[in-house]
A = this chain, B = another copy of it.
Amino acid sequence: MSKNEQNNKLLIIPLGGIGEIGKNMTIIQYGKEILLIDAGLMFPEEEMLGIDIVIPDITYLLENKDYIKGILITHGHEDHIGALPYILQQLNAPLYGTKLTLGLVEGKLKETKLNKKNISMNVVKPPASINLGSFTVDFIRVNHSIPDSVAFAIHTPVGIVCHTGDFKLDQTPVDGEKADLNKFAELGTKGVLALLSDSTNAEREGYTMSEKVVGHTIDDIFRSAKGRIIIATFASNIHRIQQIFDAAYKNDKKVAVVGRSMVNAVNIALDLGYLTIPKSLMMELDEICRLPKERIVIITTGSQGEPMSALTRMAMSEHKKVEIIPGDTVLISASAIPGNEKLISRTIDRLFKSGANVIYEPISGVHVSGHASQEELKLMINLVKPKFFIPVHGEYRHLVHHSRLAEEVGIPQENIFITENGRILEFTKDSCRFAGRVTAGKVLVDGLGVGDVGNIVLRDRRQLSQDGILIVVVAIDKETGEVVSGPDIISRGFVYVRESETLMEQAREKVKQSLKKCHEENISEWSTIKSQVREDLGKLLFEQTRRRPMILPIIMEV
């Protein structure tokens, strides 16, 4: 696309978060001005063996580095801020977000040992607006499973673009900070060009319950439990943590906070004033253990059954200080992130085995979602009355369901756009169309390597993980071409060698034959010899075992 053509057009280009849950990132571009909304990470899919996290491909941003006027952050969850330490290595732009959000970003930048430049961090307190080039951005309060979440209304020369971020509409939020429905209504009355709205819960009927409901459940549990109480939840769910402290106070219990990320989150929230806790309520773990059991509450990480988390280690009797004992009540105040179901079940089983009473979903009121259900999603569309509707933040099926909701409330089908990462949506004041693509995709982070693990490496890891590897080593005289030493066969992850001596002997024989055949046929190309060995040996092994290990022939010339 030529840049001139688009000078008076508005472009919306998602680089992540479409057709997937995570690595949210959206570009709003007008001419030579770009706003970036969020920079999140995603956790790896099961088949991405050994990968730690996944971030968006930002090639397009790097090509247009100088256009970036600012990075707007909706809230402090990893799938919205987790890519910042990586992308801020490569480009410089001021950050705009609420106080807690930027507090969490700061913690994150400190934590990662990646070098960082001086980054301009600008706290905005909603309701407020900022000017960035031709854009004016309204910060609009919404509710979510972390405090201080916002939506954005971006006033552009072409029209208003409203991006909800992740949201729900909590009529009785714990901190009293309700979603600013009046602002959305006002925008709707004025006229909104496009609404980008959170699709995560588009499959879920009705309304998402208020966070307050969980507070009541926790209070009930605190009142009736006889022994210690251990609660696992998401570290960033500050409202949940506040409610746990409130229930502890009301029921004359003390609270210890355990687990690195939980301690970090609580400290940041305390520092910035997002948690209100009487000093004496919170105790160190060592201290609290001296209290009578019925006065002890422990807040911890591990609600997803993560193998190294505090709760999992407690369940496995591997935690240094806390062991689960009969009489303990364990509350898992969270829902399973898809893919974690089995890990969580295992943790629950182990906790039960240790004699704890375990309370978890689907028991009502143990957890509520942070995302809007169908009725709220429809309400949002009805308030904002956008000309064009773009469902974002969701797997493809969520986007489809959200589109159907939009149609139901009267958005014409042709004004609804299910887009893709990297696809350009081009707007004029009264039109919207797909207009090409930019580079987009997944960048895999493995240890310190960003993007150095690609398909070939993953394919190898997959093969290695299934049937292991056989290494065939042979030394050949460089003059005569005759075998000087070997063939030796070494295997890892294939069979337990001590019990498979016959098979290994057969394998060595087979390799000898292959080499002999090559020698007789005057084949001296190493790659040909190697293929022959791989083929012959592979066939033997498959016949004998129905397995296909990786076979790596190594020929040394001496």
Interface residues of A (CB under 8 A from B): 19, 45-46, 49-50, 203, 338-339, 341-342, 345, 348-350, 352-353, 358, 362, 395-397, 400, 446-449, 452-454, 456-458, 460-462, 464-469, 471, 473, 475, 484-486, 488, 490, 492-496, 499-500, 544-547, 550, 552, 554, 556-558
A342 and B46 within 8 A (CB):
yes
Known pairs A464-B461, A464-B493; A446 contacts B557 (CB<8 A): no
B447 and A545 within 8 A (CB):
yes
**A453 CB contacts on chain B under 8 angstroms:** 495-496
From B46, B456, B494, B546, contact of A496 by CB (8 A): B456
- With both beta carbons as reference points, the residue of chain B lying nearest to A500 in the complex is identified as B452
**A397 CB contacts on chain B under 8 angstroms:** 345, 348-349, 352, 358
Task: Give Cα A462 to B49, complex, Å.
Answer: 9
Q: How far is the CB of A184 from chain B (nearest CB, A)?
A: 29
Interface of A, secondary structure class, is mixed
**A396 CB contacts on chain B under 8 angstroms:** 349-350, 352-353
Task: Give Cα A493 to B464, complex, Å.
Answer: 8
B490 and A552 within 8 A (CB):
yes
Task: Give Cα A467 to B457, complex, Å.
Answer: 9
A492 and B475 within 8 A (CB):
no
Known pairs A396-B349, A456-B496, A558-B485; A547 contacts B471 (CB<8 A): no
Q: How far is the CB of A391 from chain B (nearest CB, A)?
A: 12
From B461, B471, B545, contact of A471 by CB (8 A): B471
**A495 CB contacts on chain B under 8 angstroms:** 449, 452-453, 457
**A547 CB contacts on chain B under 8 angstroms:** 50, 446-447, 449
**A485 CB contacts on chain B under 8 angstroms:** 475, 556-558
- With both beta carbons as reference points, the residue of chain B lying nearest to A341 in the complex is identified as B338
Known pairs A396-B352, A466-B49, A554-B488; A493 contacts B341 (CB<8 A): no
B19 and A49 within 8 A (CB):
no
**A19 CB contacts on chain B under 8 angstroms:** 349
Task: Give Cα A490 to B341, complex, Å.
Answer: 38
Task: Give Cα A119 to B464, complex, Å.
Answer: 39
B486 and A556 within 8 A (CB):
yes
**A493 CB contacts on chain B under 8 angstroms:** 49-50, 457-458, 460-461, 464
**A544 CB contacts on chain B under 8 angstroms:** 448
A468 and B499 within 8 A (CB):
no
A457 and B494 within 8 A (CB):
yes
**22 pairs from A and B in contact (CB 8 Å cutoff):** A45-B342, A46-B46, A50-B466, A50-B547, A203-B362, A338-B341, A339-B341, A348-B397, A349-B397, A352-B396, A352-B397, A446-B547, A447-B545, A449-B545, A460-B468, A461-B465, A461-B468, A464-B465, A473-B556, A475-B485, A485-B557, A488-B554
